[in-house]
Amino acid sequence: MNQGYPAKNKESISGLIERVTYFNEESGFVVLRVKIKGRRDLLTVVGQSVSANAGEWAKAEGVWARDREHGLQFKAERLVCTPPTNVEGIEKYLASGMIKGIGPVYAKKMVARYGEKIFDIIETASAKLESIDGIGPGRRRKIKDAWQEQKVVRKIMVFLHSNGVSTSRAVRIYKTYGEEAIEKVQNNPYILARDIRGIGFKSADHIAQKLGIPQDSLHRAQAGLNHVLTEASGNGHCGLPEDLLIRQTTELLAVDESIPREGLAQALHAGDVVRDGVGEHDLIFLPALKKAEEYIARRILDLSGQPSSYPDIDFNRAITWVQGSNKLQLAASQTEAIRCALENRVVIITGGPGVGKTTIIQSILKILHAKCVTFALCAPTGRAAKRLSESTGHEARTIHRLLEVNPRNGQFKRDEESPLEEKLLVVDECSMVDIPLMHHLLKALPEDGHLLLVGDVDQLPSVGPGSVLKDFIQSGCLSVVRLQEIFRQAAGSRIITNAHRINQGQMPMMEEDAPLSDFYFIDREEPERAAATLLQMVRDRIPSKFQVHPILDIQVLCPMNRGSLGVREMNLTLQNALNPLRHGDVVAEKFGWQFRARDKVIQTENNYDKEVFNGDIGQIISIDPIEKEIKVQFEHRKVIYDFGELDELSLAYAITIHKSQGSEFPVVVMPVATQQYMLLQRNLVYTGVTRGRKLVVIVGQKKALGMAVNNSKNASRYSGLLHRLRSGS
C-alpha cells in the first residue's frame, strides 16, 4: 500500500492498540492509535466498537482517508477488538485500567511473574496472584471479580450492539440482572425500560423489534400502556383518563387505536392496571398508586376524626411559660397555630418565608417535651433535615432514614407491623412529599400518633405523583393554619419581601441603587449577554463583593435543562470557568459528562446502599483511575462511586429549580428568559427565590420575569386523592 496517499479500495488491517484516543460509550465511536507490523509510525483507526482497550488486538475492514485536520486515517466499516495474546499486549491491556485494581505497576509485576498465562491465572487460579508483592486477599478478589464482570459485560455489550442499540448501559444491566441479563432481555426486552435508568421505552422497543416481537402484538401494547402511565407518574399524575392514555399509547406505538384498546382490556382483566371513578373522570391507575391514594384518604380521615392523645395541657399557662422560656412574644396567629397543633391529631401549618413557622415548631416541641411527649422530626431531603435540626435544636432525619429503608430492596422497615415509637411526627417541607412517600409515612405512624405537616403550599409541587399538601388543604377535612404575616426581622430582607410579592402576583422591588440589598435584578435582553453576565457574576463579582466561595456557596438555578441558559450549557460553562483542567488532573468521562476533582455534583436518584438520595449535592475530592473510583464529599460523609455508577451523578454548578426543592443556599443566581416561556410560572420563580438565604440575583429579561409572575396557572395533576378525601373514602 502507498503510505503517502490513501487507497480507494476496501482493505483489511490488524495490529496492537497502543492507546485509545477517544471512546464514546453512547455510540461506540472510537479513535485508536494502532501499531501495525511493517509500519514505523502509529496508525489512526476510527470506527465503532463495543469496547476498546490498550493492548488489545484490533482487526479492521475499511478504507483509507485523509482528514483535513488529523491527516491520514483508516476508517473502519467493521472493527473487532480482541484480548491480546503476546506479553507486550497483555501488559498494555492490564495497565489500561480496564480491570479494577490493576494499574501499570501491578500489570508489569503480573506479566513478569506469569507471562502469557496471566489471564488463565486470574480466571482459574487467582490465589496465585497473592504471591506477587502488594497483592493481598482483598486486591486479589477485587481483580478476579472485575475480570469476571468484564467478560460478562462484554458479552452483554455485544448482544446489545448486535440489536442496534448503544452499549453504554451494559454495566448497569449486568448489575441489575447478573449473568441472566441476556436471557431476561430476550424473554422480555421491555423490562429494560422499567428497570434500567437511562433506557427508555423506545430503546427497549427497538430491541424487541430486532428480536422479532410484532409491532401489533398485544404484549407490546401492554408494555406501551404501562410505560405511558409510568411516565405520567414521573410528571406528577397518579392516573390518566382512558381516552388520553389510549391516545398517547397509540402515538407512542404508531399503531391503530384498536390495538392499545384491546391491550388495555386485557391489562384491566389481569389487574395490571385498574379503572376508578374519580369525580367526573374515570382514571386508569397503576394499582400501587390507587391503593396508596385510598390508604392515605382512609387513614388521614380516621386520624383527624379522633381527639388528641396528648396529656392534659393548660394552654394559657403553656403559652405564657414558653414565651418566657424562649424570651419571645408570640403573635396571635402563632398562638392560634400552637393551640391547633396541641388540640388536633392532624394539623397543617403553611406559609411563605419569614412568617414564623420555625418559631411555632420550636414552641410546640418545647411544650410537648415538658410533658414528656416523644416526637420525631423529618424532611424529604438531607439538606432540609439538616436545616430543621439546626432551627429546632432536635435531631431531624430524612424520611427514608426515619422509616429505615432497606438498601437491598428499597422497602421500609417501619410500617403497620413495626410502627414508629414517637407520639408526634413532624414533617417539614411537606410540599415535596408525594403520594407513595405519604403512604409509607402514614403506615408507620402509630395508632395514637399525631401528625404535624409544615410546608409552603405555594411552592412547586412534589416531583413524584400527586399534590398531597395542596389536596389536604383543599379538602376542608383537616385543621389548617395559613400564616401570612411577615415578622419584623424578616421584613428587612428583600429576598423575603420579594418572594411574597411574587407569590401575590406583583413584580419584585429591584432598585439597582440599593448597595446593601440581598436581592438584585440585572436586565439583559439577549440570552448570550445574560449567560456572559451570569458567568461574570458567579466567577468574579459576587465572590469579590460578598466574600463567598464561587463553587461551594453560589448555586445557579435554571428553570429548564435545555437552551443557552439551561442546566447543561450552564454546567459546562461554569465547570470550565470555575474548575478548569490543571496539569496532571485525572478525569472520568461518562454519559456525556466529564468529571474532575473539585467538581460540584448532584445525586440524581436514590441509592439506598450508599445512603445518598436524589438531590443531594456534594463535591468530588478524588478520582482513582486504577481502582476506577470517584470519591465524593456529601455534607459530613464521603461516598465512593465505581466508574460504572457515574450515571447517578451530574454536574451541579447549575441545577433545575425543581431539583433545588428542600434546599437552601447562601447565594442563588437565576437566569430568566422568554426562551423558557413553557416553564415560566409564578410558583417556579417563587420557589427559586426562596432557596436563597443571603443573596438572590436574577439575570435576564424583565418581560420574562413579568410573564412568570403573572402566570399562576399551574399544570393540573390527575389524582383521586382530593375526591377520596371529600367523599370520605
pLDDT recorded at residue 129 = 93
DSSP string, 214-273: -TT-HHHHHHHHHHHHHHHHHTT-SEEEHHHHHHHHHHHHTS-THHHHHHHHHHHHHTSS
Confidence of residue 655 (pLDDT cuts 50, 70, 90): very high
- Lowest mean pLDDT of 197-211, 369-383, 420-434, 440-454, name the range: 197-211
**Which burial class, exposed, middle or buried, applies to 622 when counting CB atoms under 10 A from its CB (0-12, 13-18, 19+)?**
middle
Shortest CA distance to 343 belongs to which of 394, 296, 304? 304
Q: Which residue has the cell 492507546?
A: 19
Q: How far is CA 38 from CA 15, 76, 305, in A?
A: 10, 20, 88
pLDDT attached to residue 197: 72
Q: What is the pLDDT of residues 79-113, one digit of tens each?
A: 888 888 888 888 888 887 778 888 889 999 999 99
Q: What is the pLDDT of residue 646?
A: 86
Is the per-residue pLDDT at 652 higher than 90?
yes
State how far the Cα of 118 lies from the Cα of 93, in Å rounded to an integer: 12
pLDDT at 202 over 90: no
Q: Please report the pLDDT score of residue 5 as a whole number.
A: 44
State the greatest distance between any 2 C-alpha atoms of the chain, in Å, as a whole number.
Answer: 100
Beta carbons of 420 and 447 less than 8 angstroms apart: no
Q: Per the structure block, which three cell numbers stand in for 527?
A: 440570552
What is the Cα–Cα distance from 116 to 88, expressed in whole angstroms? 9
Residues 368 and 321 sit within 8 Å (Cβ to Cβ): no
Write out the three cell numbers for 251.
Answer: 402515538
Q: How confident is the model at residue 678 (pLDDT cuts 50, 70, 90)?
A: confident
In the chain, pLDDT over 70 holds for what percent of residues? 95
| Residue 516: pLDDT over 80 | no
Name which residue leads in pLDDT, 166 or 336: 336
**623-645: burial string, b at 16+ Cβ within 10 Å, e else:** bbebbbbbbbebeeeebebebbb
Which range is least confidently modeled, 270-274, 278-282, 349-353?
278-282
- In angstroms, the CA 3 to CA 21 distance is 22
What pLDDT was estimated at residue 514? Answer: 57
Lowest-confidence segment of 36-40, 196-200, 654-658 by average pLDDT: 196-200
By CB neighbour count within 10 A (0-12 exposed, 13-18 middle, 19+ buried), where does 690 fall?
A: buried
pLDDT at 591: 66
Cβ contact 708:277 at 8 Å: no
- What secondary structure letter does DSSP report for 405? B
Provide the grid cell at 386: 439538616
Q: CA of 512: how far to CAs of 503, 547, 699, in Å?
A: 22, 20, 13
In the predicted structure, residue 547 carries a pLDDT above the cut 50: yes
Rounded to 10 deg, the angle between the 218-234 and 201-210 helix axes is 170
Report the relative pairing of strands 71-82 and 57-67 from DSSP bridges.
antiparallel
| Helix (H) / strand (E) containing 204 | helix 201-210
Spatial distance between the Cα atoms of 654 and 671, rounded to a whole number of angstroms: 10
Grid cell 441509592 in the structure block, residue: 607
Q: Is the pLDDT of residue 247 over 90?
A: yes
Contact criterion met (CB below 8 Å) for 449 and 316: no
Average pLDDT, the chain: 89
What pLDDT score was predicted for residue 195? 84
Buried b (16+ CB within 10 A) or exposed e, 276-298: bebeebebbbbeebbebbbbbbe
Q: What is the pLDDT of residues 366-380, one digit of tens each?
A: 999 999 999 999 999
Residue 656 has pLDDT above 90, yes or no: yes
Convert the pLDDT of each residue in 568-615 to its tens digit: 999 999 999 999 998 888 888 876 688 999 999 999 888 888 888 888
**CA–CA dist 221, 720 (Å, integer):** 25
Q: How many other CB atoms are found less than 10 A from the CB of residue 564?
A: 16
Q: Which amino acid is at 294?
A: E
* Upper half-sphere CA count for residue 154 (Cβ side, 13 Å): 16
